[in-house]
Amino acid sequence: MISVAEAKKIIHDHTQSLTPVTMPLKEAVGMVLAEDCFAGSDIPGFPQSAMDGYAFAFDSWKQKTLLLQGEIPAGRGDAPPLEAGTAVRIFTGAAVPENADTVVMQEKTRVENGQLIIEDDLLEKGGNVRPKGSEMMSGALAIPQGNVLTAASIGFLAGLGIHEVNVYPKPKISIVVTGNELQQPGQPLEFGQVYESNSYTLTAVLQTLHLEAASVVYAADDLSTLQETLKFHLETSDVLLITGGVSVGDYDFVSKALENCGVEKHFHKIKQKPGKPLFFGTLGNKLVFGLPGNPSSVLTCFYEYTWPALEQMMHMPHSKIIARELPLARGYTKKPGLTHFLKGLLLNDAVIPLDAQESYRMRSFATANCFIILEEEGTEYHTDDIVTVHILPA
């Protein structure tokens, strides 16, 4: 068996960012830019009114009334230059006409007999006008390479006229569930059966990363059948997640089937609890995770090993799993030799080890919001001892 640190380094060293692709901006939320984005023109491309009101030349005003001449709605591009001593009705987003430089909001005015009376003692020259290029000048860097595209950045780029971007794509992921004892939720259980939940867990946690499994398939505990299933999905996936069948029992065929498919094994056991029989291998740049069958082990291993690899493939600059050093709210005892990932509850800047820590139990996981990391050779942990905590994404 290898240590947790060794396993994480092996995965990191064998994981590569996916080749960037060009895709529509509307589909790129959550992805990482693979190249800098620049403004193709001045935005706005003209002096623009910031509100509904009246446009005029400030220096010709001198607290006098102004003759009203027409109106300029947003989108009009043929408004004539403004004559001296006049004002024009203007609306938010409209182009301020030539010879005008200031807009007064309509609430600060009165109109009498076609004359505009301005009642704004605080108004200054250039007020309520967005200068040309005030958002971005043509050729300026809009968003640099390596940034995650959020909803705001998508809107910002669209406002610059950009309709497609070069990004690191999402990996194609397949989930293969093994186990003859599994029954689908909603169906009656026969004696000896258990409900299959791992595909539900993995599908849901992938959605937290804005990912979807391209396929979820079920394979019987039979070497030939399993081998054919794995071979097909290795050809069509960037990442293959397998649950169950990775231990050393007579019906655990995953390791042998992967070997027959040409997958290079990098490790198969880790000094940890839960999830000791975790398998990791590669086929070229494709990643293969053989996750243990117990539900708690599956999710623990995914968060600690698969999640970082997926972020690395997508070139994510920061992980959504946050590490902190926090005090224990109560003590805990364990045997030496294995790193423990305890389901915990972070509350009032301290962490509480939850009950039901066994690998087959998900009850504590359903309320946990973090892992409490107890080091390999540690044994006695007391109240207020400082431990490493991995805060899980909601």
Average pLDDT over residues 383-387: 97
The yes-or-no verdict on residue 121 having pLDDT over 80 is: yes
Residues 295, 159 within the same domain:
no
Judgement on whether residues 176 and 267 belong to the same structural domain of the protein: yes
Nearest to 52 by CA among 38, 70, 72, 79: 72
Q: Are residues 146 and 202 in the same domain?
A: no
Report pLDDT for 280. Answer: 97
Average confidence (pLDDT) over 369-376? 97
Handedness of CA 256, 261, 267, 269 (dihedral sign): negative
CA quadruple 64, 69, 75, 78: dihedral positive or negative?
A: negative
Same domain, 25 and 163: yes
DSSP string, 265-300: EEES-BSEES-TT-EEEEETTEEEEEE-SSHHHHHH
User: Which of 278, 313, 348 is a domain's end point?
Assistant: 313
Claim to verify: residue 291 and residue 332 sit in the same structural domain = no
Cβ atoms of 305 and 290 closer than 8 Å: no
Summarised one tens digit per residue, pLDDT across range 291-318 is 998 999 999 999 999 999 999 999 999 9
Using 50, 70 and 90 to split pLDDT, how confident is the model at 11?
A: very high
Q: Are residues 14 and 25 in the same domain?
A: no
> Which pLDDT value is given to residue 154?
98
Domain check: are 112 and 243 in the same one? Answer: no
CATH number, domain of 149, equals: 3.90.105.10
Q: Please report, for the domain that includes residue 378, its CATH number.
A: 2.40.340.10
The pLDDT value recorded for residue 252 is: 73
The count of structural domains within the chain is 4
Question: In the structure, what pLDDT confidence band is assigned to residue 274 with cuts at 50, 70 and 90?
Answer: very high
Q: Is the pLDDT of residue 152 over 90?
A: yes
Domain boundary among 313, 331, 358: 313
Mean pLDDT of 176-182: 91
Instruction: Kindly state whether residues 215 and 329 are assigned to the same domain.
Output: no
- One domain for residues 79 and 101: yes
- Can you give the residue range of the structural domain that contains 106? 48-130
Question: Using one digit for the tens of pLDDT, what is the confidence trace for 51-60?
Answer: 999 999 999 8
Q: Which CATH number belongs to the domain containing residue 185 in this structure?
A: 3.40.980.10
Give the C-alpha separation, 381 to 340, whole Å.
12
272 lies in the same domain as 176: yes
Of the ranges 21-35, 244-258, 322-336, which one carries the lowest mean pLDDT score?
A: 244-258
pLDDT at 245: 78
147 and 10: one domain? no
- Give me the pLDDT at residue 248, please: 64
Round the average pLDDT of the chain to a whole number and report it.
Answer: 95
**Band of the pLDDT at 36, cuts 50, 70, 90?**
very high
Are 198 and 266 contained in the same domain? yes
**pLDDT for 237-254, tens place per residue?**
999 999 987 766 655 789
